[in-house]
Structure 1
Amino acid sequence: MVNLTPIMIEGQPFTAVTVKLPKTNFMAVANDHGYIMCGALDVALLNEKLKERGIVAGRAVGVRTIDQLLDAPLESVTYAAEDLGIKVGMSGREALLKMMK
């Protein structure tokens, strides 16, 4: 099952995506500038093979719900995210708000 849910964070619009898969869930929260995602995100691939695209993204591991994804510290971020001031250890919520600037 796929669930798309519009959410607001401090008055800013985002889209939460949850895909229920056998024995796991895939989750992401995005806007037009970037996204945060569960542990399925391969940040190294984005930084190495797709660097020229300038993808703004962060990864949180060990999360099972969108709320956990928003509150969890980011385990890794892309170079393009770092350029916006998004850092490892920052909450997903904080990172998303930095993507609005």
Structure 2
Amino acid sequence: MMEVKPVKVDDHTFIAITVKLPYTTLLVIANEIGYVMCGALDVDLLNEKLSDRPVVAGRAVGVRTIDDLLDAKLEKITNTAQSYGWEKNMEVKKALLLIAE
């Protein structure tokens, strides 16, 4: 099953995507600038193999729902995300507000 719905962070709207997979759930919160995902996100791949792409992304681990993801802290971020002020251990909601439009 897949669910796509809007989610508010303060007055800003993001898209929340939940994909139920066998034995796991893929979670994403995104807008036009960047996204935060569950532990399935391979940040090292983005930083090393796809470094020519300016991907603004972060990963939070230990989450099972979109609400968990919103309340989590960034465990790892892309190099490009740093240019938006994202930092490791930053609250996901705070990071999203830094890319809010």
- Report the TM-score range of the alignment, normalised by the length of the smaller protein: over 0.9
Deviations, residues 20-60 of structure 1 (Å, cap 9, x unaligned): 01111000000000000000000000001111111000000
Residue correspondence of structure 1 range 1-101 to structure 2 within 5 A: 1-100=1-100
Displacement after TM superposition at 1:13 (Å)? 1.1
Displacement after TM superposition at 1:100 (Å)? 2.0
Letter of the 1:43 counterpart: V
Identity %: 52
Structure 1 SS opposite 2:52: helix
Alignment RMSD: 0.9
Structure 1's unaligned 5+ residue stretches are none
Q: Distance in 1 between matches of 2:8 and 2:83?
A: 24
Structure 2's unaligned 5+ residue stretches are none
User: Which 4+ stretches in 1 moved above 3 angstroms?
Assistant: none
Q: Name the stretch that deviates more: 90-99 or 57-66.
A: 90-99
